[in-house]
Chain A
Amino acid sequence: MATIQLEAEQRRTAPPPRRRGPTGNRAAGIFLAPFAVLFVVFFLVPIAYAVNESFYQVKRSGLGFGTPERVFAGLDNFTAVFADGSFMNGIGRLLLFGLVQVPIMLGLALVLALLLDSASARFKRVFRLTYFLPYAVPGVIAAIVWSFLYTPRISPLADLVPFDFLSDSVVLWSMANIVTWTWVGFNMLVIYAALQSIPTSLYEAAELDGAGGWKTAWYVKVPLVRPSLVLTGVFSIIGTLQLFNEPMVLSRITPAVGKDYTPLMRSLQVALDNNDYGQGTAIALMLAVFAAGLSYLFIRLSAWLTARGVNP
């Protein structure tokens, strides 16, 4: 939105077509209106509502058969988020998940992108589409299909492996597998697009300097797609903290996944099962704060590493 306004401003200050000033402004307003309305109605208003809701609690007494009373509760809902261990357990689980799954996923995505981009790659379009295809399957559907593959007796796979996909210690990695399967293709495409925009003159220069395929990939391509890696990294961190579809589907088929397995599930459990919207929204807001904080740390870390000349 800011960019467009800026441009409109530049146009106004640009001298030649003088009469377009106010008209252009109005046109911009008209074109912006649909977005602005949707943005306000479906984004800003719900957030404001959630923030407001998180400061209220419903009070009852005795048997609770009287009319419940909605009262301002200050920060009580937020302290309650941390009072029982559910929220922080969920966060801890996701940090572990992210530390293992995100590097594997982005590593795979980078390797696939480099393979597609390499001079000797064949059938590029076919492979690009194939890698990307899992992303086209809606998340819940993917989780349900994978849950069939994980269920003993139903799955042709589960009886062949020496471990139980749905046991306490394995189930987190069974989810990581689903998430990786879904998202590698998407991340690959982002990195691949960045690779496509590298000018060929750099490769020629690298070749003249005697760099082979491996060295070109490591010293030329990877550093140049670093912004894309940071971007996909931030997306992945946020995505990890919002992990929901996979654990929700698996919670129906294994007791290893409780209804409060991830913070988002906990938020829904509190809001819908306990019918406590105040604390439910407080959890959601705290989760947003965590996601913002982690993303910021990641970007700073990546900038710090670059400043010290660490690749990528």
Chain B
Amino acid sequence: MGKSRTILGATGAMVCVSLVAACGGQPGSQSSAAPSAPASSAAAGGPVTIEWWGWAPGYEDAAKAWNASHPGVQVKFTQTQPGSQGGYQRMLAAVKAGNAPCLAQVGAETLPSFLVEGALEDITAHAQPYNTRFQPWTLNTVTFGGKQFGIPVDSGPMGMFYRKDIFDKHGIEVPKTWDEYAAAAEKLRKADPEVSITTFTPDDMYGFAGFAQQAGARWFGISGDAWQVRMNDEATVKVANYWQGLIDKKLVDVMPGWSDGLWKNYTDGKSATFVGAVWMTKVLEDSISKTSGKWAVAPMPVWDVASPSVGNVGGSPNAVLKGCANPKEAVDFAAWLSTDATAFNDLIDKGGLFPVTVDGGSLPNMSGARPFYGDQKVFQVFAEASKNVSPDFSWGPTMPAVNSVFGEAFGKAANGKGGTLAEAMATIQEKAVASLKDKGLTVAP
């Protein structure tokens, strides 16, 4: 007995020792003290260190390029999970714990939610000098109540990725409107019952928001001192009913977004188009690489050729998180990342990011040919599309909460297990309003 107790104690001691070693060696725990330390050293002339969290491909290299040319302000980049897959939770937890990074990648759709959690620093004064470099509408997405909370990086104009070989094989014209798209869907199913026009991903709220935005939906707005929530407005219901029609006629497959089943469907050539944002360019190249060379990009189908409005999905500004000791340096770096010609040209190639600066369209990689798309210069299609993105779609203050109920309601409807997509949007509208009221926010009737 005595012996076994000794062993137990020794094991405990070892665990403790290894734990202490692990804690001491962990960069995160030391960095918690970082924001205050460099501030004083900056005053003394030493370099300032800016912690930066994000997940966009190409960010790591961008930080290296900045550090090489800016010895006075050193950026330390940490790769996180994509925001909706855990990155945001980690950032908010860090803010709550008081050891958040200075700068973080926060999607435009999540920025108001961060603001309501008190997780953002007002950077209006520091950002002012750079604002002339950005397209005005992108500044609207980072400005709330007259104060600016982020530096725009990219946007996500939508387009239609399609399998050129399948379209050619069955003699199907590239659809220009959603009516033509539905007709093409029917023709394709008749020609080959195994193949559908697309795989609909009902749990992808942000993707669906792009469709709704194109049709003129305005999910959130501000009226006086209250939030307006209209997630089942007329335009949204129109789009929901359109997809419901395709689902009812079994013209589309239904799969969860970002799932293995989805990628397998596309790898196997079971679906012929993917309507999505510009950054899908890179995602498709990486996720379904076996189909390389068979794809092409066309403009997204429109509702009305006379006013060809296009949807937008995503766009991730960099925001300064609460408690940052060097907001000016953080903003300087963020502005450089978005506006420096060399830096952003790299991001187009490595991250599939689409610039939002006034002169971003002229960067060399914007006219780069991509082998996955049969050497098509795909970014030019999106550059054209971006001119028709309606700029006045804004987001609400509880998007993570709304997103967490969207998939279930929309998914059940799309899989024929309860109601229609339009009815699901009514449910989601109710839950969205409730999520605002839970936070104590005022909702306009």
Please list the residues of chain A having a beta carbon within 8 angstroms of any beta carbon in chain B.
Answer: 4, 7, 30-32, 34-35, 37-38, 58-65, 67-68, 148, 151-154, 167-168, 252-259, 269, 272-277
Residues of A within 8 A of B19 (CB): 38
Q: Chain A: which residue is nearest B93 at the CB level? A: A272
Residues of A within 8 A of B1 (CB): 7
Sampled A-B contacts (15; CB under 8 Å): A30-B9, A38-B16, A58-B440, A60-B116, A64-B440, A65-B115, A68-B117, A252-B259, A255-B407, A255-B409, A255-B411, A258-B405, A258-B407, A274-B438, A275-B113
Pick from B161-169, B209-217, B221-229, B356-364 the stretch touching chain A: B221-229
- From 71 to 98 in chain B, residues with beta carbon under 8 angstroms from any chain A beta carbon are 89, 92, 96
Whether B227 lies near A38 (C-beta < 8 A) is: no
Q: Chain A: which residue is nearest B19 at the CB level? A: A38
Q: Chain B: which residue is nearest A166 at the CB level? A: B415
* Number of residue pairs spanning A and B whose beta carbons lie under 8 angstroms apart: 123
Q: Chain B: which residue is nearest A61 at the CB level? A: B440
Query: How would you classify the secondary structure of chain B's contact residues: helix, strand, loop or mixed?
Result: helix
The distance from the CB of A261 to the nearest CB of chain B, in whole angstroms, is 9
Please list the residues of chain B having a beta carbon within 8 angstroms of any beta carbon in chain A.
Answer: 1, 5-6, 8-9, 12-13, 15-16, 19, 89, 92, 96, 113, 115-118, 144-145, 147, 202-203, 222, 225-227, 256, 259-261, 264-265, 397-398, 400-401, 403-405, 407-412, 414-415, 417, 435, 438-442
Whether A252 lies near B264 (C-beta < 8 A) is: no
Whether A259 lies near B405 (C-beta < 8 A) is: yes
Residues of B within 8 A of A153 (CB): 261, 264-265
Residues of A within 8 A of B400 (CB): 272-275
Whether B417 lies near A60 (C-beta < 8 A) is: no
Whether B408 lies near A259 (C-beta < 8 A) is: yes
Q: Chain B: which residue is nearest A66 at the CB level? A: B118
- Interface-centre pick from A34, A37, A148, A258 (highest chain B CB count, 10 A): A34
A269 CA to B441 CA, complexed, in Å: 19
Residues of B within 8 A of A253 (CB): 256, 259, 261
Q: Chain A: which residue is nearest B407 at the CB level? A: A255
A90 CA to B8 CA, complexed, in Å: 40
Whether B115 lies near A275 (C-beta < 8 A) is: no
Using known A-B contacts A31-B6, A274-B435, determine if residue A259 contacts B404 with beta carbons closer than 8 Å: yes
List the 8 shortest-distance A-B pairs measured between CB atoms, nearest first.
A255-B411, A31-B9, A34-B12, A258-B408, A64-B116, A273-B404, A62-B225, A60-B440
A153 CA to B254 CA, complexed, in Å: 12
Residues of B within 8 A of A4 (CB): 5
Whether B438 lies near A276 (C-beta < 8 A) is: yes
Using known A-B contacts A64-B441, A167-B417, determine if residue A34 contacts B13 with beta carbons closer than 8 Å: yes
Whether A273 lies near B403 (C-beta < 8 A) is: yes
Residues of A within 8 A of B9 (CB): 30-32, 34-35
A182 CA to B12 CA, complexed, in Å: 29
Residues of B within 8 A of A269 (CB): 404
The distance from the CB of B236 to the nearest CB of chain A, in whole angstroms, is 19
The distance from the CB of A192 to the nearest CB of chain B, in whole angstroms, is 23
Q: Chain B: which residue is nearest A32 at the CB level? A: B9
Given known contacts A252-B256, A255-B417, A273-B404, what 10 new A-B pairs fall within 8 Å (CB)? A7-B1, A35-B9, A38-B15, A60-B116, A62-B441, A63-B441, A255-B407, A255-B411, A255-B414, A275-B400
A39 CA to B109 CA, complexed, in Å: 41
Contact partner, A256, options B16, B115, B417, Cβ 8 Å: B417
Whether B5 lies near A63 (C-beta < 8 A) is: no
A62 CA to B397 CA, complexed, in Å: 12
Residues of A within 8 A of B415 (CB): 255
Residues of B within 8 A of A30 (CB): 9
Residues of A within 8 A of B222 (CB): 63
Residues of B within 8 A of A276 (CB): 438
The distance from the CB of B106 to the nearest CB of chain A, in whole angstroms, is 14
Whether B115 lies near A272 (C-beta < 8 A) is: no
A65 CA to B414 CA, complexed, in Å: 36
Whether B145 lies near A63 (C-beta < 8 A) is: yes
A126 CA to B423 CA, complexed, in Å: 56
Using known A-B contacts A252-B259, A253-B261, A259-B405, determine if residue A65 contacts B116 with beta carbons closer than 8 Å: yes
Whether B15 lies near A60 (C-beta < 8 A) is: no
Contact partner, A148, options B96, B260, B405, B407, Cβ 8 Å: B260
A257 CA to B404 CA, complexed, in Å: 12
Contact partner, B442, options A63, A151, A272, Cβ 8 Å: A63
